[in-house]
C-alpha cells in the first residue's frame, strides 16, 4: 500500500487533483481509495472513501467550544491527530494499493501545527510520499515562485517525506509561460535571470538570496505541469510516484 499526501496553499487544486488522479489511477486498473482530511470543506469534487467529517464537524466544534470559524479550524486540525488510530484502521481495512489523502484547505493548519507531521509519521508503516502543488497562476511571476519555493522547503522540513512537486492548473497558463516556470525549477540560472529582469531593489535582492539559500540546501526538483481539468501530466505524476515507491521496495 502506498500513501500519498496532497498538500498545497489554499485553493491550489488539492481536492480536484485528488478527484482526477484517483479516477486516472482507477482507469489504469489501480486499486485506489481517497481520504478527505479537510473538516471544513462543504462540497468535494469526489466521494471520499474515508471522510474526517464523519468523525467531527466544524459547526459542532464551534457550537460546543464557543469558537469562531477560524478557532474551530485550528482546533479541528489538532483533533485530527487524535483520530490517527481510527484512520489507520479504516485505511488498512480497504487493503488498496494506493491511498490519496486530500489535506485541509489552509496548508498552515496541517503542515505547521503538530498534527500533520504526526499523522504523516504515525499513520501505518506503509511507504509514503507527498505531492506539493505550486498553483500555476500564482507561481508564474518570479517573486511568487520564490515564495512558494520557500513554503515547499518549509513543508519538506516538517514532513521529511519524499516530495513530488507539481505545477497545478497548468491549463490556465499559455504553454510558453508554463514551460518558463518549469525551466526555473530545473535551472537556477534561468530563475536568477528572471528575478534580475522583473524585480527591482529590495525585492530583487531578497528573492535572489532566498532562491540561493534553497539551492544551497540541495533542494532541487523538476516541476511537473499537471491539469486536473484536462488530465495533462497525470501520467508524469504517476511515473514520479512510481519511482519513489520503487526505491522504497528495493530498500526493504
Ligand atoms: N482550470 C483549472 N482549474 C482548477 C484545476 N484544479 C483546480 N481548479 C479549480 O481551482 C479551484 C480550487 O480547487 P480545489 O481543488 O478546491 O483546491 P484546494 O486546494 O482543494 O482548495 P482548498 O481545499 O479550499 O484550499 C476550483 O475552482 C477548481 O475547479 C485545474 O487543473 N485547472
Ligand atoms: Mg480542498
Place of cell 505545477: 167
Residue-wise pLDDT tens digits, 148-205: 999 999 999 899 999 999 999 999 999 999 999 999 999 989 999 999 999 999 999 9
Distance between CA atoms of residues 57 and 55, nearest Å: 7
Q: Is 11 in the pocket of ligand 1 (CB under 6 A)?
A: yes
Region 119-135: mean pLDDT is 95
CATH 3.40.50.300, the chain: domain bounds: 1-126, 131-252
Q: Is 227 in the pocket of ligand 1 (CB under 6 A)?
A: yes
Instruction: State the distance from the centre of ligand 1 to the C-alpha of 197, rounded, in angstroms.
Output: 30
Q: Is 225 in the pocket of ligand 1 (CB under 6 A)?
A: no
Q: Whose CA is nearest to atom 6 of ligand 1?
A: 13
pLDDT of residue 94 exceeding 60, the answer is yes
Region 111-119: mean pLDDT is 91
Beta bridge partners of 163: 130
The answer for 3, left when phi > 0, alpha when psi is -120 to 50, beta otherwise, is: beta
Region 80-105: mean pLDDT is 95
Q: Is 16 in the pocket of ligand 1 (CB under 6 A)?
A: yes
Per-residue pLDDT band for 249 (boundaries 50, 70, 90) equals: low
Query: Is the four-CA dihedral 176, 179, 185, 189 of positive or negative sign?
Result: negative
Which is the CATH superfamily of the domain at 131-252?
P-loop containing nucleotide triphosphate hydrolases (3.40.50.300)
Instruction: State the distance from the centre of ligand 2 to the C-alpha of 183, rounded, in angstroms.
Output: 28
Q: Which set of grid coordinates corresponds to residue 12?
A: 491550489
The protein residues having their C-beta less than 5 angstroms from ligand 2 (an ion) are: 14-15
Ranges 204-208, 229-233, 246-250: which has the least confidence: 246-250
The DSSP-derived string for 70-121 is HHHHHHHHHHHHHTHHHHHHHHHHH--SEEEEEPPSSHHHHHSSSHHHHHHH
In the sheet that holds 98-102, the strands lie side by side as: 50-51, 32-36, 98-102, 2-8, 128-135, 163-168, 224-225
Q: Is 228 in the pocket of ligand 1 (CB under 6 A)?
A: yes
pLDDT of residue 225 exceeding 60, the answer is yes
Determine what percent of the chain is predicted with pLDDT higher than 70.
Answer: 98
Which is the CATH superfamily of the domain at 1-126?
P-loop containing nucleotide triphosphate hydrolases (3.40.50.300)
Question: What pLDDT shows up at residue 252?
Answer: 46
Q: Is 105 in the pocket of ligand 1 (CB under 6 A)?
A: yes
Instruction: State the distance from the centre of ligand 2 to the C-alpha of 36, rounded, in angstroms.
Output: 8
Instruction: State the distance from the centre of ligand 1 to the C-alpha of 181, rounded, in angstroms.
Output: 19
Can you state the angle between helices 175-186 and 142-159, rounded to 10 degrees?
50
Question: What pLDDT shows up at residue 215?
Answer: 83
The structure's pTM equals: 0.94
Per-residue pLDDT band for 213 (boundaries 50, 70, 90) equals: confident
Instruction: State the distance from the centre of ligand 2 to the C-alpha of 190, rounded, in angstroms.
Output: 32
Q: Whose CA is nearest to atom 9 of ligand 1?
A: 13
Taking CA 88 as the corner, what is the angle to CA 27 and CA 106, rounded to the nearest 5 degrees? 75
Q: Is 172 in the pocket of ligand 1 (CB under 6 A)?
A: yes
Instruction: State the distance from the centre of ligand 1 to the C-alpha of 92, rounded, in angstroms.
Output: 28
Amino acid at each position: 500500500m502506498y500513501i500519498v499526501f496532497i498538500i498545497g496553499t489554499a485553493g491550489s487544486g488539492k481536492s480536484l487533483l485528488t478527484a482526477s488522479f484517483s479516477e486516472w489511477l482507477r482507469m489504469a486498473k489501480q486499486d485506489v481509495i481517497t481520504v478527505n482530511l479537510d473538516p471544513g470543506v462543504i462540497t468535494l469534487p469526489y466521494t471520499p472513501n474515508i471522510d474526517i467529517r464523519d468523525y467531527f464537524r466544524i459547526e459542532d466544534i464551534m457550537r460546543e467550544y464557543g469558537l469562531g470559524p477560524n478557532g474551530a479550524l485550528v482546533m479541528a486540525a489538532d483533533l485530527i491527530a487524535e483520530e490517527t488510530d481510527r484512520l489507520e484502521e479504516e485505511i488498512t481495512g480497504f487493503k488498496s494499493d494506493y491511498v490519496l489523502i486530500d489535506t485541509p484547505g489552509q496548508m498552515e493548519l496541517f503542515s505547521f501545527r503538530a498534527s500533520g507531521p504526526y499523522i504523516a509519521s504515525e499513520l501505518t508503516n506503509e511507504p509514503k510520499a507527498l505531492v506539493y502543488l505550486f498553483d500555476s497562476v500564482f507561481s508564474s511571476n518570479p517573486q511568487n515562485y520564490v515564495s512558494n519555493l520557500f513554503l515547499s522547503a518549509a513543508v519538506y522540513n516538517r514532513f521529511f517525506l519524499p516530495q513530488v512537486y507539481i505545477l497545478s492548473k497548468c491549463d490556465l497558463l499559455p504553454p510558453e509561460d508554463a514551460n518558463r516556470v518549469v525551466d526555473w525549477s530545473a535551472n537556477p540560472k534561468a530563475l536568477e535571470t528572471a528575478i534580475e529582469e522583473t524585480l527591482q531593489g529590495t525585492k530583487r535582492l531578497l528573492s535572489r538570496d532566498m532562491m540561493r539559500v534553497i539551492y544551497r540546501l540541495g533542494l532541487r526538483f523538476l516541476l511537473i505541469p499537471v491539469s486536473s481539468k484536462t488530465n495533462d501530466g497525470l501520467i508524469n505524476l504517476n511515473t514520479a510516484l512510481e519511482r519513489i515507491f520503487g526505491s522504497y521496495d528495493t530498500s526493504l
